[in-house]
């Protein structure tokens, strides 16, 4: 269905769109990049030149390859230039009304059969496809930030999407050197859903006064091997972005208690303490970050890790149980999309599913809160002495 000659249209030349255009161009496709904002287009062109210049300097690509990549991207301020595209990837503002209106307009321009993809993080593919005449060609292609660096891409067929379209996109994006996983059209897809407990449970532990931010960050790095602790990571992502994703996943899951946002994060968001970008979040960022000394008590550290990892593994198991994706794809998504040191289901096998169940049961009985209820599949697997991979 797609070849190297397939013209790739990208809508929105912000952080994601510009990165996606770079990836498509690096794979040899002619790319048309559109934005309503001229300044955004100009900036993305300059940023690409700088990024490619650095790659040439580091001898990752040749000057000729860089020139080829730049030449293959055409920057346009008019959607009418998308007439010969074979695939269009939309990466504009995360607003359903705006996205729906762009998709409607797009269908009056592109040829029948041109695949229409959205890079949305939190809207459903079904709600975007619903306004299209040829809704079978609308699919989710969810890149991670920065798109040229992060290997993972989630491919999401909506309820109206033709399976063959999702398959073709999977093959195409894989051929671009990305690791593709397939996910059901559910809130947060794989990564943004499963990762919620990393933040949520850590905040909860700090709210209860069990450990401070620095100690929790230390515990997850020391005992879990995570590259960044949850509070450092939230400050890095931005507490505005992270809070909005949490709120959206919670609301879209009909207020499922496991995804409930915390007041701690909401207050940071309201106070505009977004993290690194605003100079203060959970930590203060001057010329160097001011990170207080963690307590480094191994008993406490292991307890913190045990609680957070049990919640993460429970979420991954629930995703298998509800057929969100295959177990392999769930593990790949977390290692390639957010750099987890291990796939959560594989980790569950290694730590012992019965231990995970024990931790969750204890939390559930202690707190009496629904957020700690162990997934039915976990209970069944422990009962039958099963593992995910061995």
Catalytic residues: 121, 142, 154, 192
Asked if 121 touches ligand NAI (CB under 6 A), the answer is yes
Q: Which is nearer to ligand NAI, 11 or 220 (CB)?
A: 11
Interaction residues for ligand NAI, span 313-332 (CB under 6 A): none
Q: CA–CA separation, 130 vs 118, rounded Å?
A: 13
Q: Which residue has the tokens 């709600």?
A: 127
Interaction residues for ligand NAI, span 24-63 (CB under 6 A): 34-37, 40
Q: CA–CA separation, 252 vs 186, rounded Å?
A: 9
Kindly give the pairing relationship between strand 284-285 and strand 289-290.
Answer: antiparallel
Q: Which residue has the tokens 């073709």?
A: 168
Which of 91, 106, 165, 357 is the binder for ligand NAI (CB under 6 A)?
91
Asked if 265 touches ligand NAI (CB under 6 A), the answer is no
Q: Which is nearer to ligand NAI, 11 or 268 (CB)?
A: 11
Span of 68-76, 89-97, 203-211, 221-229 interacting with ligand NAI by CB under 6 A? 89-97
DSSP state of 275: B
CB of 247 to ligand NAI, least distance (A): 14
Is the CB of residue 384 less than 8 Å from the CB of residue 354? Answer: no
Kindly give the pairing relationship between strand 7-11 and strand 31-34.
Answer: parallel
Give the CB-nearest residue to ligand NAI. 14
Interaction residues for ligand NAI, span 356-385 (CB under 6 A): none
CB of 281 to ligand NAI, least distance (A): 17
Q: Which residue has the tokens 């207020």?
A: 255
Query: Could you tell me the sign of the dihedral formed by the alpha carbons of 360, 363, 364, 370, in that order?
Result: negative
Which of 143, 146, 135 has the alpha carbon at shortest distance from 173?
A: 143
Asked if 335 touches ligand NAI (CB under 6 A), the answer is no
Asked if 351 touches ligand NAI (CB under 6 A), the answer is no
Asked if 219 touches ligand NAI (CB under 6 A), the answer is no
Residue 186 has φ and ψ, to the nearest 5°, of -125, 155
Where along the sequence are the contacts to ligand NAI (CB under 6 A)? 11-17, 34-37, 40, 91-94, 98, 102, 119-121, 143-145
């Amino acid at each position: 269905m797609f070849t190297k000659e397939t013209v790739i249209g990208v809508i929105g030349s912000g952080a994601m769109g510009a990165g996606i255009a770079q990836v498509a161009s690096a794979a040899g496709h002619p790319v048309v990049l559109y934005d309503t904002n001229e300044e955004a287009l100009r900036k993305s062109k300059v940023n690409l030149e700088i990024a490619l210049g650095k790659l040439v300097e580091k001898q990752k690509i040749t000057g000729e390859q860089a020139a080829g990549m730049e030449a293959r991207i055409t920057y346009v301020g008019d959607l009418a230039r998308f007439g010969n595209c074979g695939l269009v990837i939309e990466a504009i503002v995360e607003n359903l009304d705006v996205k729906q209106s762009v998709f409607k307009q797009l269908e009056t321009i592109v040829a029948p059969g041109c695949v229409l993809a959205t890079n949305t993080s939190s809207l459903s593919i079904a709600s975007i496809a619903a306004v299209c005449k040829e809704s079978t060609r609308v699919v989710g292609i969810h890149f991670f930030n920065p798109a040229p660096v992060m290997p993972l891409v989630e491919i999401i067929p909506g309820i109206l999407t033709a399976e063959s379209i999702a398959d073709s996109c999977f093959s195409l994006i894989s051929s671009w050197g990305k690791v593709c996983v397939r996910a059901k059209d559910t809130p947060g897809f794989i990564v943004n859903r499963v990762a919620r407990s990393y933040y949520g449970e850590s905040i909860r532990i700090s709210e209860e006064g069990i450990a401070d931010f620095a100690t929790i960050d230390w515990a997850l790095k020391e005992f879990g091997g995570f590259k960044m602790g949850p509070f450092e990571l939230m400050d890095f992502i931005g507490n505005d972005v992270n809070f909005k994703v949490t709120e959206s996943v919670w609301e879209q899951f009909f207020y499922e208690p496991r995804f409930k946002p915390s007041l701690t994060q909401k207050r940071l968001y309201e106070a505009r303490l977004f993290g690194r970008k605003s100079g203060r979040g959970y930590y203060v960022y001057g010329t160097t970050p001011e990170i207080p000394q963690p307590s480094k008590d191994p008993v406490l550290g292991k307890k913190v890790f045990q609680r957070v990892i049990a919640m993460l593994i429970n979420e991954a198991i629930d995703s298998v149980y509800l057929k969100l994706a295959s177990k392999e794809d769930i593990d790949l998504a977390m290692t390639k999309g957010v750099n987890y040191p291990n796939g959560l289901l594989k980790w569950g096998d290694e730590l012992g599913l019965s231990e995970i169940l024990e931790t969750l049961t204890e939390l559930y009985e202690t707190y009496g809160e629904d957020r700690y209820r162990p997934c039915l599949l976990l209970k069944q697997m422990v009962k039958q002495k099963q593992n995910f991979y061995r």
